[in-house]
Amino acid sequence: MSVTIRPACAEDRPLLEAFMSALQEIEREMEPNRFPGPEMAAQHLAWLEEQVAAHEGAVLLAEAEGVPVGFLICFTDEDPGFFVRREEARFGYIADLYVEEAARGSGTAQALMEAAEAHFRALGIRQLRLFAVAGNARAQAFYAKLGYGLYEVSLRKKI
């Protein structure tokens, strides 16, 4: 399968909302505290678009044989200046990555990640960060294969 990556455009918004909704439903299977995808997709996507515009980000769309099969949203972020050295404080953040089930295992996610890395490299960014739901072993294995390792661990206790 031949995969191409391109910047998303305004006409892609309904598709991006559908992909965001599908991503949320996958996470909701692992974390029932999540809102249903159709209830949150438009609002979350709007917030992400604001972050992309304000923080040198990108919304990337993957197409296989001209058919959209996934997306990635990323932008820059920065640690507060009081605990991380200034030269290490700025990073690229991968906010959301989704590939349709039929296209998984085809290299689509890797192509999206490589495009995001190229975007950040062009900005002079030296590190990337992302979060994965703790129960999503498949995503964690994928990111580990690309060279991502633990940086911080978020712990939770329900009371």
> pLDDT tens-digit profile of 115-142?
999 999 999 999 999 999 999 999 999 9
Regions of the chain short of the pLDDT cut 50 = none
What is the reported pLDDT for 87?
Answer: 83
What is the reported pLDDT for 158?
Answer: 84
What is the reported pLDDT for 103?
Answer: 95
Distance separating alpha carbons of residues 143 and 156, to the nearest angstrom: 22
Arithmetic mean of pLDDT over the chain: 95
- 8 A C-beta contact, residue 70 and residue 103: yes
Q: Tokens 């703790």 label which residue? A: 134
- 8 A C-beta contact, residue 109 and residue 70: yes
CA neighbor of 73 nearest in space, from 25, 16, 11, 30: 16
Distance separating alpha carbons of residues 75 and 59, to the nearest angstrom: 9
What is the reported pLDDT for 156?
Answer: 84
